[in-house]
């Protein structure tokens, strides 16, 4: 074979790189039109048609392309113009300035405090670029397109016929106007939770709202937790019209309803959940078949039986899109009557479910699958720890044989999944132990049991096959909601590889498979190397974020071509959508509006991010509260990061983090540009990430969740 006859293997491109490649193709051929299949062939890429169509759709939305007949696209000659106005999401800094995150530019737009004009964190805004210097943009917010935050914690100030709430967040520059009838008889100086009902059309006017709760001065924890929820636009309180709808709901399993469902009540079924869980949204069933195979059912609470489209309940669930798990509470997506009662798969009760049932052969391969509405009867409720004790043989149970078989099957499925390209991101999770007054008394590292992996594996099985079933349901495609995870950004991964090389670890970024293998090796080495363990979470941050989309481009992290979310409709609205579309397509083909589905996916993805931010803030607050009671104590720690003024240290025993400023050291230090080490100015001594260090906690600012440390 000559050199000329050797052909390069088609390459799979990440979403960003693919769009740039397509832009070049269309720009160089402005009179030609292309379909996804033609582009895959002409560009010699291995991306599937869904992936290319998604990129074409994005470029069309930006105005770079125009869609012509037969699903073909063409270059839009009017797209080359120096527009300076963009739409994006506000990311506020603690100093009152902001960055506007937009998909239209290669970097974020910085907005000084005086040009923010009342916009708040996560608001969608229209912004004008006023200057550009070395690829850095500075802009001015023109208007708020969509408000993100509806709730605020503040101080009430009454007058004769009305009052105002002065928000405690210093970045909120307005007061909220309260009619006397909406004040809950709050008194002057009361700390309250207020909801905005109407935003003003003029910047000089105040928004109008009503007080939802009066917060007691003594309970600073309540004030702080309500503030965290409010800052991200969430609330524990449901509107009266929603509560009214829910009050009329009840469990009714009559003959007519039963005839529409597969009766699984005689099959061995149980739930496995955290010991303190109240909402049991999934159950597992198991039975041996006459042909020697086994049948495993994943039964999910049938939320859509109660939550119907366009009701007040449905609108509120979509608005929230997710339950929010703070350190001391849950702000649920659905009211308690649904989440903890009607939809909860409680033991020794009949429950209505939507199920994915799989028949597995002796090699644990899926030979048959079935989706549909069912009725189950949970025989037992296990905590993760109890189920593990049964598997280990330290606790007796009538379900011991079933649990052992389910566990061994899950291990085979997991091993096969990892071999096929799934990445396991290993990181320690903490559990904050609270007393009856929600004060933190201990912080523990969560133990990862086989039973956690068991439940996780069967949920992955159901989610994966749900996505595959819908992707192959009919041609042309039936629009569906997928959980997608794009390929990593090549430039960011290269930077990460250079950092790791300086630490003596080779990280191969040649192709997606090489990246996956490198991450697996990093996870393994990090178990015994403290410095690698500190930078290990950076691998996750280098990845694209998993989001929801009607355009299926696969899930890079899991290594799945098809993946959806089907298993948690009590706490995720994405799963509610999945249930509706799946059910409507079991016996027929029903296509939902893809453009409307895309809008829903963007909203749900954004809500998910805000919920994670709220959870992170609550944990940080509780950690600082915990360390407030340990001022003066000495701990063993590990250097976890550097900034110009000091060293971040993570305490080994509880994963709390604080700062040791360089003025506490015997001589000045200079931080390296890669932020992985610092060098002493006179002696040349180098300190690095992952290095052990002994510290003393000297001060804690609980309000700011900041911890000051000194060298012990």
Residue 501 lies inside a defined structural domain of this protein: yes
Q: Percentage of the chain surpassing pLDDT 70?
A: 97
Report phi then psi at 23, rounded to 5.
-55, -45
Q: 79, 110, 127 — which closes off a domain? A: 79
pLDDT in tens, 357-389: 999 999 999 999 999 999 999 999 999 999 999
Q: Quick check: is 70 in a domain?
A: yes
Q: For position 133, which CATH number holds?
A: 2.40.50.140
| Statement to judge: residues 608 and 512 lie in one domain | yes
Same domain as 29, residue 163: no
Residue pair 430/446 in contact (Cβ under 8 Å)? The answer is yes
Does pLDDT of 80 surpass 50?
Answer: no
In a domain, 453, yes or no: no
Q: What is the pTM of this model?
A: 0.81
Q: Would you say residue 471 lies in a domain?
A: yes
Q: Is residue 553 located within the same domain as residue 514? A: yes
- Give the domain-ending residue among 146, 163, 182: 146
Cα distance from N-terminal residue to C-terminal residue, the chain = 68
Identify the CATH number of the domain in which residue 175 sits.
2.40.50.700
DSSP state of 115: G
Residue 291 falls within a domain, yes or no?
Answer: yes
CA distances from 139 to 86, 89, 293 (A): 10, 13, 64
Residues 158 and 139 in one domain: no
Could you tell me if residue 129 is inside a domain? yes
Establish if 329 belongs to a structural domain.
yes
pLDDT in tens, 387-428: 999 999 999 999 999 999 999 999 999 999 999 989 887 777
* Residue where one domain finishes, among candidates 412, 435, 453: 412
Question: 123 and 93, same structural domain?
Answer: yes
Arithmetic mean of pLDDT, 536-544: 78
In this structure, the number of other CB atoms found within 10 A of the CB of residue 644 comes to 10
The verdict on 582 and 478 lying in the same domain is yes
Q: Does 336 score more than 60 pLDDT?
A: yes
197 and 308 both lie in a single domain: no
**Same-domain status, 157 and 91:** no
Residues 606 and 485 in one domain: yes
594 and 690 in a single domain? The answer is no
Q: What is the pLDDT of residue 203?
A: 64
Burial of 535 (0-12, 13-18, 19+ CB in 10 A): buried
| Same structural domain, 139 and 155 | no
**Residue 51 shares a structural domain with residue 128:** no
Cα dihedral across residues 349, 355, 361, 363: positive or negative: negative
Count of domains for the chain:
6
- Asked whether the predicted pLDDT for residue 578 surpasses 90, the reply is yes
What is the chain's mean pLDDT, rounded? 90
**Packed helices 220-231 and 594-628: angle between N→C axes, nearest 10 degrees:** 150
The pLDDT of residue 4 is above 50 = no
Q: Residue 81 pLDDT > 50, yes or no? A: no
Its domain, for residue 647, covers 630-711
pLDDT band at 473 (very low <50, low <70, confident <90, very high): very high
- Determine how β-strand 350-360 pairs with β-strand 366-377: antiparallel
Residue with the bigger pLDDT between 511 and 469: it is 469
What does the pLDDT read at residue 595? 92
Assess if residue 494 is contained within a domain.
Answer: yes
């Amino acid at each position: 074979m000559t050199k000329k006859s050797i052909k390069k293997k088609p390459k799979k491109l990440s979403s960003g790189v693919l769009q740039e490649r397509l832009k070049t193709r269309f720009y160089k051929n402005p009179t030609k039109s292309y379909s996804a299949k033609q582009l895959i062939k002409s560009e010699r890429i291995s991306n599937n048609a869904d992936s290319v169509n998604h990129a074409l759709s994005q470029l069309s939305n930006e105005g770079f392309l125009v869609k012509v007949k037969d699903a073909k696209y063409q270059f839009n000659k009017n797209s080359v113009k120096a527009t300076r106005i963009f739409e994006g999401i506000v990311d506020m800094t603690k100093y009152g300035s902001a960055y506007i995150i937009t998909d239209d530019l290669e970097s974020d737009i910085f907005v000084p405090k005086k040009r923010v004009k009342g916009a708040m964190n996560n608001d969608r805004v229209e912004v004008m670029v006023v200057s550009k210097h070395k690829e850095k943009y500075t802009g001015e917010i023109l208007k708020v397109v969509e408000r993100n935050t509806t709730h605020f914690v503040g101080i009430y100030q009454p007058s004769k016929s009305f009052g105002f709430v002065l928000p405690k967040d210093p970045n909120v520059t307005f007061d909220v106007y309260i009619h006397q009838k909406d004040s809950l008889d709050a008194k002057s100086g009361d700390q309250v939770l207020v909801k905005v009902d109407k935003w003003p059309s003029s910047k000089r006017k105040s928004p109008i709202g009503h007080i939802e709760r009066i917060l007691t001065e003594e309970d600073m924890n309540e004030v702080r937790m309500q503030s965290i929820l409010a800052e991200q636009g969430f609330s524990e309180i449901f509107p009266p019209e929603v509560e009214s709808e829910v009050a009329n709901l009840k469990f009714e399993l009559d003959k007519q309803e039963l005839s529409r469902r597969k009766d699984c009540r005689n099959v061995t079924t149980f739930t496995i959940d955290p010991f303190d869980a109240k909402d049991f949204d999934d159950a597992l069933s198991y039975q041996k078949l006459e042909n020697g195979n086994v049948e495993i059912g994943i039964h999910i609470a049938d939320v859509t039986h109660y939550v119907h489209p366009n009701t007040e309940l449905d609108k509120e669930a979509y608005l929230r899109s997710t339950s929010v798990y703070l350190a001391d509470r849950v702000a649920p997506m659905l009211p308690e009557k649904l989440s903890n009662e009607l939809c909860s798969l409680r033991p020794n009760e009949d429950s209505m479910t939507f199920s994915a049932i799989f028949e597995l052969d002796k090699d644990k391969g899926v030979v048959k699958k079935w989706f549909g509405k069912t009725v189950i009867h949970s025989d037992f409720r296990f905590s993760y720890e109890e189920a593990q004790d049964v598997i280990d043989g330290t606790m007796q149970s009538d379900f011991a044989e079933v649990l052992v078989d389910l566990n061994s099957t899950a291990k085979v499925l997991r091993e096969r999944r990892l071999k096929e390209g799934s990445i396991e991101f290993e990181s320690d999770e903490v559990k904050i132990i609270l007393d009856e007054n929600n004060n933190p008394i201990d912080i523990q590292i969560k133990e990862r049991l086989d039973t956690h992996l068991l439940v996780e594996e069967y949920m992955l099985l159901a989610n994966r096959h749900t996505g595959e079933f819908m992707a192959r349901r009919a041609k042309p495609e039936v629009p569906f909601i997928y959980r997608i995870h794009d390929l990593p950004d090549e430039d960011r991964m290269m930077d990460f590889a250079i950092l790791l090389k300086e630490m003596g670890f080779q990280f191969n970024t040649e192709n997606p498979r090489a990246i996956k293998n490198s991450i697996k090796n990093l996870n393994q080495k990090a178990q015994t190397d403290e410095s690698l363990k500190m930078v290990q979470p950076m691998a996750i941050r280098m990845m694209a974020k998993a989001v929801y989309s009607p355009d299926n481009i696969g899930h890079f992290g899991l290594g799945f071509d098809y993946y959806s979310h089907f298993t948690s409709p009590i706490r995720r609205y994405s799963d509610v959508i999945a249930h509706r579309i799946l059910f409507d397509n079991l016996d027929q083909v029903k296509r939902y509006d893809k453009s409307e589905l895309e809008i829903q996916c963007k909203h749900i993805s954004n809500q998910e991010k805000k919920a994670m931010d709220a959870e992170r803030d609550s944990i940080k607050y509780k950690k600082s509260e915990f360390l407030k009671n340990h001022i003066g104590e000495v701990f063993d720690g590990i250097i976890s990061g550097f900034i110009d003024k000091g060293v971040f240290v993570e305490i080994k025993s509880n994963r709390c983090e604080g700062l040791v400023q360089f003025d506490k050291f015997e001589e000045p230090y200079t931080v390296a540009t890669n932020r992985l080490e610092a060098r002493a100015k006179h002696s040349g001594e180098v300190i690095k990430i992952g290095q052990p260090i002994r510290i003393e906690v000297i001060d804690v600012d609980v309000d700011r969740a900041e911890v000051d440390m000194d060298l012990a």
